[in-house]
């Protein structure tokens, strides 16, 4: 059973609307930046994850909240372009990991560097303000600080 929340006050509704606007702008710019690298937004997100660490398909699907079959198709297309490779998991040879190639990691870096939407407004905040914002967002997401 979901606990009853008190009615949202004006400030809470304004914050929710601002977060929605930030998310929409971020996705819009992300799709545009991905397109400049001949990637879809979904391909770019998978590549960004794999540039950090090799992952099994199931974990990628969980993190991106989509079906594993969708991830298989995305990884197939990234692999065909030489941006991703499949390799056995050293801890469990039955499991295949998807991993970014050197070219894939370089593409992920270039893509991330081309995203100006978040960097430009954040640059106007002091380090203390950015730290506070980060900590508040982590707290909203239930992450330990």
Q: How does pLDDT run across 75-109, given as a tens digit for each residue? A: 999 999 999 999 998 888 888 899 999 999 999 99
In this model, does residue 2 exceed pLDDT 70? no
Question: What's the number of domains the chain is made of?
Answer: 1
Q: Indicate whether 76 belongs to any domain.
A: yes
Number of H helices, E strands in the chain: 7, 3
Q: Indicate whether 2 belongs to any domain.
A: no
Give the domain range for residue 55: 11-138
What pLDDT is stored for residue 26 in this prediction? Answer: 86
Q: Indicate whether 103 belongs to any domain.
A: yes
125: CATH: 1.10.10.10
Lowest model confidence (mean pLDDT) among 3-12, 59-68, 72-81, 84-93? 3-12
Q: Indicate whether 144 belongs to any domain.
A: no
**2 or 12, higher pLDDT:** 12
Q: Indicate whether 100 belongs to any domain.
A: yes
In this model, does residue 120 exceed pLDDT 90? no
Burial of 64 (0-12, 13-18, 19+ CB in 10 A): middle
Average pLDDT over residues 123-144: 89
- What is d(CA 73, CA 137) in angstroms, rounded to the nearest whole number? 32
């Amino acid at each position: 059973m979901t606990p009853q929340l008190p009615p949202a006050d004006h400030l809470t509704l304004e914050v929710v609307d601002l977060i929605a606007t930030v998310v929409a702008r971020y996705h819009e710019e992300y799709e545009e930046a991905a397109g400049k690298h001949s990637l879809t937004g979904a391909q770019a997100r998978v590549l960004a994850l794999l540039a950090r660490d090799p992952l099994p398909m199931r974990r990628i699907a969980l993190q991106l909240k989509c079906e594993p079959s969708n991830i298989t198709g995305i990884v197939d297309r990234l692999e065909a372009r030489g941006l991703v490779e499949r390799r056995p998991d050293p801890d469990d040879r039955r499991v295949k990991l998807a991993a970014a190639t050197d070219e894939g990691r370089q593409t992920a870096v270039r893509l991330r560097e081309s995203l100006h939407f978040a960097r430009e407004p954040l640059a106007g905040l002091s380090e203390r303000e950015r730290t506070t914002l980060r900590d508040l967002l982590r707290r909203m997401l239930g992450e330990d600080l």
